[in-house]
Structure 1
Amino acid sequence: MNKPVYMDYAATTFTKPEVLEEMIPYFTEFYGNPSSIYSISRETKKAIDKARMRVATALNADPQEIYFTGGGSEADNWAIKGIALANKNKGNHIITSKIEHHAVLHTCEYLEKNGFEVTYLDVDAEGFIRLEDLKAAIRPTTVLVTIMTANNEIGTIQPIKEIGEICKANKVFFHTDAVQAIGHIEMDVKDMNIDALSLSGHKIYGPKGIGVLYLRRGIKIHNLVHGGAQERNRRAGTENVAGIVGLGKAIELAMENMADEKARLTYLRDKLIKGLRGAVDYSKLNGPAGDRRLPGNVNMSFEFIEGESVLLMLDAKGICASSGSACTSGSLDPSHVLLAIGLPHEVAHGSLRLSMGASTTEEEVDYVIETVPAIIQRLRDMSPLYDSFINGKGKNFFDK
C-alpha cells in the first residue's frame, strides 16, 4: 500500500472536514465567552444551543437533558460518582460488568474505597452479561446499574433495552457508556429506559476533548466539577465552544449516514474475519458474530505468538492496529476483557484488534488479509511454544 492502513478507529477517528469547517469560526471570529452578554458571545451561546439540540435529536432526548463534558471518561465518572453520591440515602450498592471500560471500572473501585459495594457481573464466552444474573444481583440497597452498550475491545452489543426494563422495574438508575455505540447503532434513551448515557466526540469523527452526559430530567446528581454556573449550574468551566460545535456536527453526520455505513462496515468486517480465520490455524474470533457485534470491529486471538510483536511488524508494513483498549496500551497485563470471556493469559496476550471506519476500503481489507497470516507464521517460527506444539510436546487452546 502507498499510504498507511488505519485499522484503529475504536481508539480514535480523524476529524471530518465538514466538522472542522464548522468549528473554525469559533476559534477565530466568534470567540466570545458564552457567559458574556455582547454580540459575539451571543453567537457562541447560540452555537452551543444548536449543538445541544443536535445531540438530543440523535438520542431522542430533551435538549435540557444534555450536558457537555471534557470527554467520555469524564461523563462516565460524573454519571457514576454523581448519581451514587446524590442517592446514597437510598443505598450504597452498584452493579457493573467485568468488561467495562476502565473509566467505569476505576470509578467503581474509587467508590468501593468510599463506602460503596460493587457487584461485577460475569460475562459469557462472547462477552454478554446474563440478564438473570443482573436480576439476581439487585438488592434493596442497589442505586445504580452501569453497563456499557458496546464493548470497545470485542464489539459485543449488550441487550440495553432489556437491561433498562429490568432497572426500571426495580426502581434502579441505569447508566450506559455508549462511547463505542454512538454512530453505529440506534440509541433511543426513552425506548431503552436509559437514565444516563456517556458519549465522546473523537469516536464519531469529531474533535478530541469533548463529550456528553445525557441525564434524564429529575435525576439527582452531585456535580463533579465545581466553580462557575456553566451547563445550568451542573458543570463548571468556560465552555469548549469549538469542540461543542464540532461534536454537534459530527453526531448529526453520523445519524445521517448510519444505515449505509453500518452495511458497508459489516460487509468489510465479515470479509476480514473470514479471510483471517481461513488463512491462520489455531485462531479464534473474540466476541459474537453477526448483528450482535459492532459493524467495524474485529478482534482475534492467535496462539503461540505475542500481540505486541504483531503490532510492531504490522506497523512496519504500514498497518495501524491495536491489541485492545487504547487507554491501556502501555500495560503488559493481558486484556481484562479477554480474561473475562475465558481466554488464558498466554492466549489473551496474542490478540489483535482491527477496527474499521469511514476511510477503510476493501483494498485495505485485502491487504490486511494478505499481510497478517505471514506475520503470524513468522512469529510462530520463532516461538519455542509453537515448536514444542508441532513436535507433540505442547498443547493448544483452539481447534485448528
Structure 2
Amino acid sequence: MSHPIQQAVDQLLLEQGEYSPLELLLSEGRLDYSDYEAWRTGEIPRLEQVLFGDPEKLDGLLAEAQEYAAALALQPETLRYHAWGGSGGSPLSFSDNNIREQRFHTVFRKAEDQPQFDLFMDATATNLANGIVLALIDRNNHEAHRLLDQLFEVDPGHPRLGALERMVEAGDRLAEPVADCEWELHYLKDELLPLAEKELGRESRNLLVPHWRRLTDALHGQAFDPTQPELHASYTASQTFDWETVRRTTQEDPDWPQQVLLLRRHAHACGRMHNLLESLQSWIRLCWSSPHEAVTIATEADTDLQQMWRLFLALDPELTAEDFPAWLLLTRPGLAQQLPSPEGDELCPPSYAGVYHMLREGQQSQNTPDATEIQRRGELKQLNPELFIHFMRARTAH
C-alpha cells in the first residue's frame, strides 16, 4: 500500500476524526471545490466526471484508502449526499459504476466520533435545532429562517438559539455589498468561523465559503500590505479553495517574488492545481530568499516534494535549506532541463548555479569529465564542501 495514501488518511483522521472519500479527493487536489458545489446544486450529474487525473488511478487511490481505513478497525457508515437548496434534495451520484458509487459513499469513523444530538432536551426543540443545522449545511437559508422562528416560539431559552440565530442572520448578509473589508475579515475570522466550526463541524465549510468568496470579490484590486497580509484576495480565495484566483492575485503584485507570504501562497496554489514546475520555482526562490520559511514545504507543498524534503532533512552530511534546490537537481537531474537558467538572479547561490550548469552540459561520460566540469567541480568543492560530497555521490549513482 502507498505510504502517501496512508499519510493522507491519517491526516484526515487527525483533523476530522473520520475518513471520507470526498475529503480525500479535496485534500489531494483531485477535486475542485467549485466543481463540488456544482455537483451539490445538480449542475453536474456525476462527480467522477470532473475529477483531476486518470479515472483508473483515482479508483485505485480510493480503494487503497478504504482498505487502510478498514484495517484501522474504523466503523464504516453509508453517507449519502443530497442536492442543495432548490434542487429538491434529491440523492446525488458519484459514478455509474456500482462499486465506485458504494466506495465513495462509505465513510469510516471512530466509534466515539459518532455525531451526538441533544437527547435530553425537549424533542420538538431538539428536532428544530437539528433541522436548522441541516438547512444551514444545505445552504437553504429560507428553511433555516422558518425553523428558527418556530424554535423561538417553542423554546425561547434553548441553549443553541443564539448561535443558530447568528448563523442564519449571517446568511442574510450575503446579498449585501461589503462596506468595510477589514471589519468583514475580523468578523469572519473571529466570530463566524469559530461559531460555524463549533455548531456545524466539518460541514461549516458549506456555510463559510460564500462569505469568503464575497470578501474576495470586495478585495479585488487591493494591493498586498505586509502589515495586513490576510487583507488580500490571495488569502481569502485560499479559504474558498479557489487556487486559480490565489495564483493570479499573487502575481498581480509587482513585488510578489520578494514577499515571503505571496511566494508561499503562489507555490501552494500552483501545487494544488498540479502545475508542479511553476510551484517548484516559487519554493526554490523561497529557499533562497527566506531559508527559515522553507520548513513550510513539509506541510504546504505537493506530496512528492514533501517526501523529497523529508529525505533532504535526513542527509549526512547535513545541508542548509538554501541548498535544497541544488540537492533536488542532483537527485532529479532532469529538472535542470526544465527549470530556467539562474543567470542574473541575485538570490541564486553560486553553488546552485554550478550544479545547474554541470547538469545542463550533460557530460557524455561521468568517468571522464572535461576541463570545464573539472573546473566547476573544484569551484563547487570550495564553495560548499558538503554539497560537493552529495554531488559526487549522485554522479557515482547515476
By percentage of residues, which structure has more helix? 2
TM-score by length of 2: 0.27
Q: Radius of gyration: which is bigger?
A: 2
By percentage of residues, which structure has more strand? 1
